Amino acid sequence: MSTRRAVVVGLGIVSPVGIGAAAAWDALLAGRSGIDTVTTFDTSAFDFEVVAGAVKDFDPTDYMEHKDARRHDRSTHFAVAATGEALRDAGLLGDDGRLAGTDADRFGMVFGTGIGGIGLLLENHQVLLERGPRRVSPFMLPHMLPDSPSGMVAIQYGIRGPNMAVVSACATGGHAIGEAMEAIVRGQADVMLGAGVEAPLHPLAFAGFGQMRALGTPRDPDSGEYAPALASRPFDATRNGFVVAEGCAVLVLEELEHARARGATPIAEVIGFGSSADAFDMAAPAERGEGNQRAMRAALARAGIAPDEVGYINAHGTSTPLNDRYETVAIREVFGEHADRLAVSSTKSMTGHAMGAAGAIEGFVCAKVVSTGRIPPTINYRHPDPELTLDYVPNEARRADVAVALSNSMGLGGHNSSIILRRYEA
């Protein structure tokens, strides 16, 4: 049986609540929302108020050459930026901005996205309609694909090991981290990136989700006043939909002995990964969260731990009526009486739902929780739902001695992923 272990040695993030791990973590602990009115395109044609979790003050040329920034989709911009921070945090970025300190052939990645380069695709479709086929960019096709971020990250930093892009809608980030862990444990690589990225803030995406009646209302449920920051209110009795968001998070995973040999300091350890399919509906979650239950149980079995060893769950917590109800049921089914002792929070209350990036952002959160002893809150929790009775860490961060944290992710198509991180102790 393999004794190889995958520890987290570096973190990088680009998010609606901050660019960089320190800024994002401070904002999450302070309960600051990154959700606001969309101003990047004309929303007058919509029959609902358009809000989003947008990344602010981001300049891709701070992280890549101008010509590359111009040719690539915003999702790839985020991927390159977050990876650079994560490599620097791991002590694996040389003075020349390239990978250093490890064998590039034994360094790989699983870098997922839910939608891929939708912005680049839509821009070139408009060019086709207005200016004809000869004006469509020759860079569109290779740069709009779901594997474009992972390809460009490899080129930018000189990473030559196993490289793949997973696509499983909103479960993508969890799948990416879990599969990166497995690649290390089975000996395929010594270092891996587990990452998710998304940049879906375009009219077509909002139109589609709006037609599904899936989006949260940016109104104070008590006063009726316009309040974008209140649009995402997971587990609250007034919740009525999610908020579209963008962003990227990157975890650098490394085989423990390999990390020790080069003097790296582990932040946490990824010990469990579970995956399942609802086989139920393309949009609605399975009743009683049965698919989520199977993913959590598989992650616990893979980690070799009992349910009562988990101290915190970063919930999928989208703020939709069905998801929050069935995820709560799933947690109670899996954890039994221990569910009442769990802290469960949804950071989507602050970031919105970044889809393919969500599970990676929340993996970042779990790594910080077990390494700092701080739990970020579920903000906007003002009206308890009598059917949902877990401890949702309402409105204020909490200090807690959490040794083991679990992150849930669920996606359209019935995809589920759960990952488990443990505090690293030498």
* Catalytic (active-site) positions: 170, 316, 353
The residue count for the chain: 426
Please state, in angstroms and rounded to a whole number, the distance separating the CA atoms of residues 167 and 415.
10
Strands (DSSP E) found in 216-311: 247-255, 268-277
Inter-residue contact 279 to 247 (CB < 8 Å):
no
* CA–CA gap between residue 276 and residue 260 (Å, rounded): 34
Residue 382, CA distances (Å) to 194, 220, 231 in order: 35, 11, 13
Both tokens of 155, joined, read: 């080129």
The answer for residues whose C-beta is within 8 angstroms of residue 159's C-beta and 6 or more apart is: 99, 104, 107, 108, 109, 153, 193
Distance CA 68, CA 75 (A): 13
**Do residues 322 and 286 lie in contact, with contact meaning Cβ atoms separated by under 8 Å?**
no
Complete DSSP assignment for 113-167? ESS-SHHHHHHHHHHHHHH-GGGS-TTHHHHHSTTHHHHHHHHHHT--S-EE---
User: Which is it for strands 247-255 and 312-314: parallel, antiparallel or unpaired?
Assistant: unpaired
The encoded tokens of residue 258 equal 């390999």
Provide CB contacts within 8 A for 55, sequence distance 6+.
14, 15, 16, 19, 78, 246, 247
109-110-112 Cα angle (round to 5): 135
What is the separation of C-alpha 145 from the centre of its chain, rounded to a whole number of angstroms? 19
